[in-house]
Structure 1
């Protein structure tokens, strides 16, 4: 018997004044850390902040390596740090900002496939959805309610 599996994607487009106080603080922290990125090969700087359910905000950046698979993305770096150092504390939101070296404004950014799968794993680990905020070049923000909005048909979706 033929079945159809369908998913829809919803992203909110928000302005700064639409963000909550914690979201603004999270994005400001990511922006403040952006210059700490180590991106000598791509010149693409990425910073990510994660808001934990204890109110703590952790931040990290991408760290490249001449052997490209060895580098680490900002999103995976901050989530794995949170998981290792705050194992019983749920991540609630992750915010991401990016820019290219030498350019004044923001760059379009969305978690890569590895980061999307990592976010999915952390949603499963903590049995909670993680909101994802992404800075846009025009200074607005894209908000995904959870990883399903960026990773349709993840492994668990295909088991139903």
Structure 2
């Protein structure tokens, strides 16, 4: 008889920005600003990410496209990789992500792609501390996960690698 694996995913749905903490509001504002700096001439999809570090520093990143599509990079990964090279010992307290289409001011309810979820998972595993993720939801709402595990429940980590 086959068993079952029950996975619980917890996402807070906040009805408005009024329910965000001061740090979450600041991170989301910076993610929105970062989206404005995106280089997205092919998709016209502007994404920004902001990281809050445990020393109080905020770090931003935006998607960077390239005519050779695999050569571009998402906002979440630009922020994480740049942050890690500047602040390698700092822990991440929060990641905020904002996305909009070109020539629109409304931010869209989007989630990180699979590659970004995997990279985010690596940083959570590395720091051995949950990283909440804040996203725009529909109709002025916000989504807050308590951990990357809520976005990528069956994670591939260094423990997944075979030892030879």
TM-score by length of structure 1 reads 0.92
- Structure 2: distance between partners of 1:45 and 1:101: 7
Q: Distance in 1 between matches of 2:153 and 2:33?
A: 31
* Local SS of the residue matching 1:50: strand
Q: Where do 4+ consecutive residues of structure 1 move more than 4 Å? A: none
Instruction: Report the count of equivalent residues.
Output: 158
2:141 matched to which residue of 1? 140
Give the alignment's Cα RMSD to 1 decimal.
1.6
The yes-or-no answer on 1:109 pairing with 2:110 is yes
Measured after TM superposition, the shift of residue 137 of structure 1 is: 4.1
Q: Structure 1 unaligned runs (5+)?
A: none
**SS of 2:84's equivalent?**
helix
In structure 2, the partner of 1:25 is: 26
User: In the TM superposition, what whole-angstrom CA distance separates every residue of 1:82-118 from its partner, at most 9, and x where no partner exists?
Assistant: 1111011001100000001123311221000000000
Q: What's the TM-score once normalised by structure 2's chain length?
A: 0.90
Identify unmatched segments of 5+ residues in structure 2. none
Query: Is the 2:130–2:147 contact (alpha carbons within 8 Å) kept by the matching residues of 1?
Result: yes
Do 1:29 and 1:49's aligned partners in 2 also have CA atoms closer than 8 Å? yes
What is the alpha-carbon distance in structure 1 between the residues aligned to residue 131 and residue 117 of structure 2?
11
Q: Distance in 2 between matches of 1:127 and 1:113?
A: 21
- Within 5 Å, which residues of 2 pair with 1:1-16? 2-14=2-14, 15-16=16-17
